[in-house]
Amino acid sequence: MKKKNVVERFAFGVMADKDEMPNVFSHSDRFLIIDLKDRKETVHEEYRPNPHGEICRTKYPIPTDPGDGITDEELEIYRNIAEIIKDCETTIGYNLGYFPKLALEKTTFYVMQSAPVLPRDYIKELIEIRAYYGDPNRD
């Protein structure tokens, strides 16, 4: 049975003046949320501010290694970031970091670390792949 009108919500961390991913996901100024319907068309886009971007850039310039201790403040920041985008099925970022990835995995179904791509190019590629290979939800 074919599913109809499946909408997937993607979250990308981007910088304020451009839709480019920062080197570290938590350093994003905002999150670009894109709803993709049936992997055919974008039906909604919005930006959500990341109130933690500046503190992450200044106080936590590189992701904490898994073997290192993490402060309660840093852990709380990553949990708050995950809450901002918890309604997204997929979160995509460049250099997520171990602890942010753990926080995101508790609220998001897929957490993907990628090359530094442009979010709209990523969505365009998903649409092109679907057009080439067909509908994965058909009988």
Q: Where are the alpha helices (DSSP H) in 12-118?
A: 53-59, 72-84, 98-105
How far apart are alpha carbons 123 and 126 in whole angstroms?
A: 5
Q: Which residue has the tokens 């080197």?
A: 23
Predicted confidence pLDDT, tens digits, the chain (139 residues): 555 678 999 999 999 888 899 999 999 999 999 999 998 899 999 999 999 999 999 999 988 888 888 999 999 999 999 999 999 999 999 899 999 999 999 998 899 988 888 899 999 998 898 777 766 554 4
Give the orientation angle of helix 98-105 with respect to helix 72-84, to 10 degrees.
Answer: 50
Q: Which two tokens stand for residue 113?
A: 């670390």
Domains annotated for the chain, with CATH where assigned, are 7-130 (3.30.420.130)
Distances (CA, A) of 12 to 5, 114, 118: 22, 11, 9
